[in-house]
Chain A
């Protein structure tokens, strides 16, 4: 038990505001508040905070607060349009045009509801491009125009280009889409945070649950793409860690062909069982198909009656549209009202990125990019994000620690880490590459 008394840890904890109900209707707001608390700040604090806060006028009554006293914090959503990406098998899984962007917008709205009490206004910009070079140029331009926080949905190689283009600026990149381990490991960058979970986090989350269920014999089915192989590698690593045996590994060579056609099930009904024939006994079929091109063919078509897990069937995810745990209902409702659709994992990852900036801004009472970035790197930072416990960033590679839902397409089944998987510092670090194993040196 520790108690510390004395001055509030944050300088401007006391703000007089006259909230205007019209603020609730949009995320561009006008605020009339005045900082009242400066008198209580010790000289040391005042010196520190002077550089980072907007000019505070302790004597000014609320009504006199000027428009330009409002701290403006600009966040950019950068999306790489991946035209070569094949559409998924199920119509239900086709990404909406604002995938991720809507999550960032909700983050801005939530930040602004808080910001109106703190004289902070959050603004969202957006750029998208199918050409990686052009996207990087667009982002650099916007960063130079005053958007220091970039929420990126991009391929791993583009993300690295973005990170390197921004490395001499007070700017921070959030990776909300790429699960690639190398971005957190040998190719980690100190100016990148990952709100998207890594493949090893997802695979470990799934494996812990299957180990808890004692379904320890897996038949692994791997697709032809490098991403499929990478996820299969993460599953194999998880199997070793959690005492699971991979009884057989089969490559599923597949020519996707036309995605939409009248018919097709007749042949698939024959193909999948024959592909699965003669396999050693197993508890589950683990499918690695990140492109969602064939995995959905497996449930209910296997040779023997076994559940399908991995990228199809029971799957690990950062967010699920049916989750109502830990206040999730209100969060889902707010998103539904804003986007007129359900929240997808990239939306959630973008929301946590934007909320991270908002949390840093309200805790530091600053809009200065460096101050916020430093705060997000400090051990003071934590985020409440509807996962039942605080989320923090791993200090050694910038990965967001977070519980992972294990779900069917309809509803969550459980949340990992599972009971009994213990850790010296945080049970969340039983998911993914942990500090002793990391190859990332950029943060040292």
Chain B
């Protein structure tokens, strides 16, 4: 998803630069789902201001782009469905079906279908986003959550929070092919851009497990230590890796920090102080900025990826949960 939109954005950026020799960075629209407010805040990435608020169904959580950036799709968990909004007009386009309590969606690299974890029924649901129908359900562990898609589109990795596993789902057969035990309460699965590794955060375990995509071997476990913060408060959730495969950003929940990890050495380079209970992360398509959703402080922090500095916090709705940025 992210990588698709990145390449799209880069293409756009190149086009604009050629046409207008514009020196200013492009402004993107950043969509933030506010879990308790039933809204999406739309932020302009250049002015860093909220420019619109979209009213959603109940309990909006996982949020992604689809249909070549024309749609933003959000899980409205308490309504047991997905909603599709137009990224330009912010109008509701349509609803999509899901299983009970959908939490995190991800698209196949081809743009369709969509896979969504349903936290309340131990299933991953496969949805055709153009035909508005459920293709099938895939049984997984207890409380499915994280969803990662390999860059070649062959593997979907789903994590189950109470089973503590990363389930490797073959996207052709739509069957679970392998299961890798990780630490307690896995939340997010993210592939490295070369597709060789998948990084899985464990919120209660306090670690990120690095799994080899081919062998399913656990290559490493990344631990986090922050002076003055108890181990129990370090709860990794969101993981995002830069498109060049060099840096990973890991949101650490109530530790109120985002860890910057060198992907090659798997060493933490630094911790960036953000808002409270930071959960999910989203790059702008040019990867210059990273937005973090800070649930308890009702804001998003903006990280300048080049300088690794937190440059701003922007007030959004109540309990911001997920974030995705679309090209303008």
- Residues of chain A having any CB pair with chain B under 8 Å: 1-5, 7-10, 13-21, 23-24, 36, 40, 110, 113-114, 117-118, 327, 329-330, 333-334, 359, 362-363, 382-384, 388-390, 426-428
Contact = CB atoms under 8 A, between A and B. Distances in A.
A301 B235 CA distance: 45
Contact of A16 (B178, B184, B230): B178
A153 B189 CA distance: 40
A382 B139 contact: no
Interface string B185-229: 100000000000000000111100000000111111111110000
Interface stretch (B105-113, B127-135, B160-168, B285-293): B160-168
Interface of B: 101, 119-120, 122, 137, 139-143, 160-165, 167, 175-181, 184-185, 203-206, 215-225, 230, 232-233, 235, 254, 265-268
Contact of A117 (B137, B179, B218, B265): B179
A427 B224 contact: no
* Most B Cβ at <10 Å: residue of A23, A114, A329, A384: A384
B170 to A, nearest CB: 12
23 contacts: A3-B266, A4-B221, A5-B266, A7-B217, A7-B218, A9-B221, A13-B218, A17-B176, A19-B139, A21-B139, A40-B217, A110-B163, A114-B142, A114-B162, A114-B165, A117-B163, A117-B176, A330-B101, A334-B120, A383-B184, A384-B164, A389-B232, A389-B233
B276 to A, nearest CB: 12
Nearest to A389: B232
* Most B Cβ at <10 Å: residue of A5, A8, A382: A8
A16 B177 contact: yes
A110 B204 contact: no
Contacts of A327: 119, 143, 161, 185
Given A17-B176, A384-B184, 18 more contacts: A2-B223, A3-B220, A4-B221, A7-B217, A7-B218, A10-B181, A13-B181, A15-B179, A36-B178, A110-B162, A113-B122, A117-B176, A382-B204, A384-B161, A384-B185, A390-B204, A426-B232, A427-B232
A113 B142 contact: yes
B219 A5 contact: yes
Contacts of B254: 388
Contacts of B120: 329-330, 333-334
A141 to B, nearest CB: 32
Contacts of B225: 1-2
Contacts of A36: 178
Contact of B232 (A19, A114, A390): A390
B204 A384 contact: yes
A19 B230 contact: no
A119 B154 CA distance: 26
Contacts of A23: 139
B268 A1 contact: yes
Contacts of B185: 327, 384
Nearest to B145: A327
A4 B222 CA distance: 7
B218 A8 contact: yes
Nearest to A365: B181
* Most A Cβ at <10 Å: residue of B120, B137, B143, B179: B179
* Most A Cβ at <10 Å: residue of B178, B233, B267: B178
Contact of A5 (B161, B216, B220): B220
A1 B232 contact: no
The 10 closest A-B pairs by CB, nearest first: A8-B218, A384-B204, A384-B184, A114-B163, A1-B268, A384-B185, A117-B179, A389-B232, A2-B223, A5-B220
Contact of A390 (B160, B177, B206, B266): B206
A19 B164 contact: no
Contacts of B101: 329-330
A427 B235 CA distance: 16
A384 B162 contact: yes
B162 A24 contact: no
B181 A1 contact: no
B184 A390 contact: yes
A114 B144 CA distance: 12
A14 B219 CA distance: 13
Contacts of B205: 382, 384, 390
A144 B122 CA distance: 35
A117 B178 CA distance: 9
Contacts of B215: 14
Contact of B222 (A3, A21, A382): A3
Given A14-B178, A384-B164, A426 B230 contact: yes
A110 B142 CA distance: 7
A36 B233 CA distance: 36
A35 to B, nearest CB: 11
Contact of A362 (B161, B164, B235): B164
B223 A1 contact: yes
A360 to B, nearest CB: 12
Nearest to B185: A384
A413 to B, nearest CB: 17
A19 B144 CA distance: 15
B251 to A, nearest CB: 16
B28 to A, nearest CB: 31
Contacts of B217: 7-8, 13-14, 40
A118 to B, nearest CB: 8
Contacts of B218: 7-9, 13
Contacts of A3: 220-223, 265-267
A311 to B, nearest CB: 29
Nearest to A18: B175
Contacts of B267: 1, 3
A359 B204 CA distance: 13
A56 B206 CA distance: 31
B141 A117 contact: yes
Contacts of B162: 110, 113-114, 384
Contact of A363 (B175, B181, B266): B181
Contacts of A333: 120
Contacts of B122: 24, 113
Contacts of A428: 232
Nearest to B203: A384
A330 B222 contact: no
Contacts of A5: 219-220, 266
Contacts of A8: 217-218
Contacts of A359: 164, 184
Nearest to B100: A333
